[in-house]
Amino acid sequence: MHIPEYLLKGAICPVSAAVGIAGVAIATYFVYKSQHKVDILKFGILTSLVFLLQMLNFPVSHGTSGHFLGTALLIFMLGIPDGILAMSIILTIQAFVFADGGITVLGANIFNMAIFGAIPAVIFYKHKKNKFTMFFASILSVIFAAFSCSTLLAISYPQNLTNIFFSMMSIHFLIAIFEGIITTIAFVFLNLIFENISFAPLKYLSIFGIIIAFILITPFASNLPDGLEWVVQKYNLLKESEPLFVALIPEYSFNNINNEILSTILAGISGIIITLFISMFMLIILNFKKSKKILLKNQKGA
């Protein structure tokens, strides 16, 4: 559901960028102020895992594919502000490093998938232990994100308003069912690891093992267009144009590596490393500033 460059028209890009930036800023503020600090390695690994899962497109119907969103899973596993921040980091890395989603529409993608798509998980966060509630909230997260994306497209292309809405919502309803299943299974499995393995190195090695297994199957993900790409192609919404900039690893592959399987695996590994480093660095900075402020306050009080 990553909106590509040049798809949105008029003032939608700057307005959505402002809203997206404001949403991320608010989430970052609450991460900074929160008394409950998420483990930095847990934050980095789960953010990297969701990044990887988004690479695994699966066929849906009508010659389309879908991919995992992960906003609800991140919120249920990390908490509300941390989950929103983690998804925003993923979307930013995807845009700048992999050209997955445009730079000028990054604000729109963050708003759709990290903020508006987070609303159901935020509403049902206190009931996350209930598997049916989690399943339902995860489904709604995709539907909310698709609704938001459809609205932006409809504003840009009012002549196709009805067709865009119907096509986007119908295909993403199917994708949402998969989202609910994947989120529920992943939450249960990850919780088993975090709650039942007390030895920290073994805990994180177990998750790294899962990540490695998923990396090895990334070359076999579906090549069919995802739901948004299918709608764009169906109604000829986007004309061919020069990219805004040349990404480091465009479309999750290295152009200078002829072996497609090896290229995709290396792209996945690169994405994991970049996401892990940036997400952990971000949380270290926020925690360090907070800890330093508390330390100075205590010293003055003494």
Give the pLDDT confidence score for residue 294 in this predicted structure. 47
> Which of 133-142, 184-193, 217-226, 291-300 shows the lowest mean pLDDT across its residues?
291-300
Cα–Cα distance measured from residue 298 to residue 215, given in angstroms and rounded to the nearest whole number: 46
Confidence of residue 11 (pLDDT cuts 50, 70, 90): confident
Domain assignment present for residue 93? The answer is: yes
Residue 3 lies in a domain: no
| pLDDT band, very low/low/confident/very high, at 73 (cuts 50, 70, 90) | very high
pLDDT band of 245, cuts 50, 70, 90: confident
Interatomic CA distance for residues 61 and 120, integer angstroms: 25
Query: Is the per-residue pLDDT at 133 higher than 70?
Result: yes
Rg of the Cα trace of the chain?
19
Q: Closest by alpha carbon to 260, among 223, 205, 213, 302?
A: 223
The single residue listed with the structure tokens 């003055």 is 300
pLDDT at residue 179 greater than cutoff 80: yes
pLDDT band at 145 (very low <50, low <70, confident <90, very high): very high
Instruction: Look at residue 5 and tell me if it is in a domain.
Output: no
Rounded Cα gap, residues 275 and 47, in angstroms? 7
Measured CA to CA, the distance from residue 40 to residue 238 in angstroms comes to 40
> Which whole-number Å values give the CA distances from 75 to 80, 258, 279, 285, in the listed order?
5, 38, 15, 20
Q: What does the pLDDT look like over 95-130, one tens digit per residue?
A: 999 999 989 999 999 999 999 999 999 999 998 889
Residue 286: burial class (beta carbons within 10 Å; 0-12, 13-18, 19+):
buried
Structure confidence at residue 289 as a pLDDT band (50, 70, 90): low
Q: Give the Å distances, CA to CA, from 41 to 111, 170, 297.
A: 26, 38, 27
Domain count, the chain: 1
- C-alpha 118/C-alpha 45 separation (Å) is 20
Q: Predicted confidence band at 196 (pLDDT cuts at 50, 70, 90)?
A: confident
Q: What is the pLDDT of residue 295?
A: 44
The whole-angstrom separation of Cα 279 and Cα 104 is: 22
The verdict on residue 126 lying in a domain is yes
Closest CA to 15 of 88, 100, 105: 105
Residue bearing tokens 């529920």: 184
Note whether residue 71 is domain-resident.
Answer: yes
CA dihedral (290, 293, 299, 302) in degrees, to 10, reads -80
23, part of any domain: yes
Residues 147-164: tens digit of each pLDDT: 999 999 989 998 888 999
Evaluate whether 264 touches 218 at the Cβ level (below 8 Å): yes
Tell me what pLDDT residue 201 has: 83
Residue 149 lies in a domain: yes
pLDDT at residue 78, as a whole number: 96
What CATH code is carried by the domain that includes residue 235? 1.10.1760.20
CB 172 within 8 A of CB 146: yes
Nearest-angstrom CA–CA distance, 188 and 1: 26
Other C-beta atoms within 10 Å of 189: how many? 13
Maximum separation of any 2 CA atoms in the chain, in Å: 68
- Looking at the whole model, is its pTM more than 0.75? yes
Q: CB of 282 within 8 A of CB of 88?
A: no
What mean pLDDT value characterizes the chain?
A: 90
Which DSSP string corresponds to 249-299? SGGGS-TT---HHHHHHHHHHHHHHHHHHHHHHHHHHHHHHHHHHHHHHHH
Residue 6, in any domain of the structure: no
Parent domain of 237: 12-301
Q: Let me know: does 238 contact 232? Beta carbons within 8 Å.
A: yes
